[in-house]
Structure 1
């Protein structure tokens, strides 16, 4: 729900009122709505946080009065002193508290303190960047280092129509594909078995129809997803799954993107064993907290490049932090009044 801003909330409300005309005067057309998430993480792109609105969207947000607080940490488990210190650090980051000892703890996870083998292992880990441009440059660098042929996949464009949805291009115009390339799935294809937006894998085959070749769309791309848990497409390689082009808006394209590096925004919701993290020079609401909290253990984090305590302190300056804390106090009061019934 941190990614849900006033604009999108209003669109959801309007569409549901249209879909259920008998209850068009009720919020969300009378449909039961459940929001899940953490308001301390990144806000929506090109919008403000949902709790910072002063429009009709705020009254919609305040209509959610049944609140259940989940307070068990599952991602960063462990009883060691370092894990306890890591959880304390994350708690402080979430509350926008820049403490000297937390910064020093993170600076123990830089290239200057890692062994040669550790640095080598981290070089192959996913890299999280604050900007799209930094992620793009790292992905191009890694693709070049494969020293293998690269196929350009150009999206097919449907005829222009006048509907608003057609202007919302959700798939890239161009996709670069290569064997052994690390990619991320950018669509929910089969949620039950792990083929979800954000799933990471390695390309094993690129297959074309007869008489076609790059930059034509491939017939399918075989990707090895280690977290796939569905029926095997290839008995000998049960984690290898063909990914076919799909259509979103006016574009048909393979729903894959390079993922040696992704933005911190894109990483939201992921759980990672290891990551190299670059928080950039500018802090946004929840940026540093979201980046650091993607990783299970402090030993799974490399900070590269290192950042100053002055940069670390910028997390205290976001104008939404005070508003968010007041809103969380309101939600905690509602949570205390919510009874949970078990059958």
Structure 2
């Protein structure tokens, strides 16, 4: 059974793939080392089936990716997803990780120096126009904090941007649902005059999934102003990035869909908590039991069946 995770980890070298438990770019995307060739017949069908669940590709050691390889990645993804062949990388989100200041490429040219199609692809990756603010917690009456805090609800360092998925880490207004674990998306980040990152912002406007009691913005009834908080001597915005959640944090939440990584071993109650009551229907869960991925299916409900 193929891996059905929406995230695919890739790296250009064997060492890098071993370090992060990934696959090589060439093997997973069917890119030949020497000459580029189109996939055809059963090879193409199998390739499309293997990647059918992929929505995000994280590639480590991006300094190894030259113009030829980047163009091949784009071309093969368009083959994998023919319905999106008119989109860059076939609409798959590409996340590059690494350091461009390393040794120059061998028998290839850096994408940012390319005069080929690779330069256009490179600009597409860094044309998100989405600045990220770094918020470093402050110690009351001292210099910026550099060590961990005893107050778990306040992160010592927080990276935030507009549209970032976040979780509230403090019980601000229980009756309104503004509790530790509430999920939402950042709409706006506001600083006081003369202040800028890495100082914590004055407040952050967050559109929460379930909130509509007091309207801060008539056009966006779920949007709430979250101000900086002080716990002990620590000052920070009580938010945390929530693109992924621990199973403990998910307890008590109801999610639209969930991909769950159980891990290779079972802990008391962990699997039960992860699978039960996190989503409304069992077919909205994709579960990965370590090396043995499992997808749970159920027919669509009819006549109000749950």
What's the TM-score once normalised by structure 1's chain length? 0.46
Change (3 A) 1:228 1:118: farther
After TM superposition, give the deviation of residue 158 of structure 1 in Å.
2.2
Cross-structure match for 2:292: 308
Deviations 1:109-160, CA, capped at 9 Å, x for gaps: 9459xx999947x87xxxxxxxxxxxxxxxxx69999662110111111258
- Per-residue CA deviation, residues 247-280 of structure 1 (Å, 9 max, x unaligned), is 1222111011111101112111212221010011
Structure 2 SS opposite 1:302? strand
Cα distance in structure 2, aligned partners of 1:274 and 1:109:
17
Determine the C-alpha separation between the residues in 2 that align with 1:149 and 1:297. 37
Specify the SS of the correspondent of 1:175. strand
Let me know the Cα RMSD of the aligned residues.
3.4
Residue 283 of structure 1 is matched in structure 2 by 266
Q: Aligned ranges for residues 1-343 of structure 1 at < 5 Å? A: 110=4, 119=53, 148-159=130-141, 168-170=150-152, 171-293=154-276, 294-304=278-288, 307-308=291-292
Question: Counterparts of 1:269 and 1:118 in 2: how far apart (Å)?
Answer: 31
How far apart in 2 are the matches of 1:253 and 1:184? 14
Q: Distance in 2 between matches of 1:108 and 1:289?
A: 24
Q: Which stretches in structure 2 are left out of the alignment for 5+ residues?
A: 7-48, 57-94, 98-124, 143-148, 294-306
Give the number of aligned pairs: 179
Q: Secondary structure at the match of 1:262?
A: coil
Structure 1's consecutive aligned runs of 4 or more residues displaced over 3 angstroms after TM superposition are 107-112, 115-120, 141-147, 304-309
* TM-score scaled by length of structure 2: 0.51
Match for residue 146 of structure 2?
none
1 or 2, which has the higher helix percentage? 1
* Cα shift at 1:196: 0.9
Q: Taking CA–CA contacts closer than 8 Å with sequence separation of 6 or more, which of the two structures ends up with the larger relative contact order? A: 1
Q: Distance in 1 between matches of 2:53 and 2:266?
A: 26
Determine which structure has the larger strand proportion and give its number.
Answer: 2
> What SS does the aligned partner of 1:284 have?
coil
For the Cα contact (< 8 Å) 1:110–1:306, is it kept in 2? no
